Amino acid sequence: MSHDFDATCLSLLLNDLRLPAIRQIWPGFAERSDTEGWPAARLLMALAEHEIAERDRRRIERHLREARLLPGKTLENFDFDAVPMVSRAHVSALCAGDGRLRNGANLILMGPPGGGKSHLSSAIGLSLLEKGWKVLFARTTDLVQRLQVARRELALESAINRLDRFDLLILDDFAYASKDQAETSVLFELISARYERRSVLLTANQPFGEWTKVFPDPAMTVAAVDRLVHHSTIFELNVESYRGRTALQRKQQGPGRPASFATPNNVGVPPRAEEQQ
């Protein structure tokens, strides 16, 4: 057999075995192996490691598309100093994820608007996703509307079952506003279906005592809170709105003025008249 025929045949075999990464890089690895005198086992190990790494990369990319996380929100750029009641170490421990997610444990982030709840929830989701867990981020109102459509089509159970493939379901803006019985009913069914089976992370602007606005039926409110709080960790982000602080700082600083000391951008710029006096 010619070398070209062997290469073509091997490419077809690797394609049939669904090893696309090895099919792409084996010529270069084989040439290096011949040049450096690798043992066959070393070449095989190098090819297998590359295939696994590529599969992990593709899996994370696929899960990221499905997760719908907020862009650019990571634990690295979350300002833990602005929310001293939330420990970076505690959050890192939660992001280890193994035991908690397997047991269907929940996480609740509560506090006024603008405190970083959505950022932190999405960042936690990203950290868990990178460790191999499947995550879905959704605004509660949007998800409830989709579940209502499923109920009208007599497919609510199937829709909730499809959410089971996500190890963590992030419900953003949970205590959103008073809704009718049909909306709160599908939300309660979702919570009940995931109870002690799949984890929920929710953000809420209102304390538990005001959740009667979400579940008008007091008995349903108690039952929902009981299921969510059981096996849960609760963070209270009771801080001033980040957006409000930023706007106030801009207002106090005004439009800005030229620097009064040398920087890379103003070296050699003549001083202002008042600075020469």
Residue 169 near residue 200 (C-beta atoms within 8 A): yes
Residue 236 near residue 84 (C-beta atoms within 8 A): no
Q: What pLDDT, on the 0 to 100 scale, is given for residue 124?
A: 96
Q: What pLDDT, on the 0 to 100 scale, is given for residue 147?
A: 93
The radius of gyration of the chain's CA atoms, rounded to the nearest angstrom, is: 27
Q: What pLDDT, on the 0 to 100 scale, is given for residue 261?
A: 34
Q: What pLDDT, on the 0 to 100 scale, is given for residue 249?
A: 54
Q: Which residues contact 43 (CB under 8 A, 6 or more apart)?
A: 29, 30, 33
pLDDT under 50: residue ranges of the chain? 1-3, 248, 257-277
pTM score over 0.85: no
Q: What pLDDT, on the 0 to 100 scale, is given for residue 263?
A: 37
Residue identified by tokens 């706007």 is 247
Round to whole Å and give the CA distance between 29 and 13.
17
Q: What pLDDT, on the 0 to 100 scale, is given for residue 213?
A: 72
Q: What pLDDT, on the 0 to 100 scale, is given for residue 66?
A: 94
Q: What pLDDT, on the 0 to 100 scale, is given for residue 179?
A: 62
Domains in the chain and their CATH numbers? 3-67 (no CATH), 80-236 (3.40.50.300)
For every residue of 42-89, DSSP letters joined together read HHHHHHHHHHHHHHHHHHHHHHHHHH-PPTT--STTS-GGG-TTS-HH
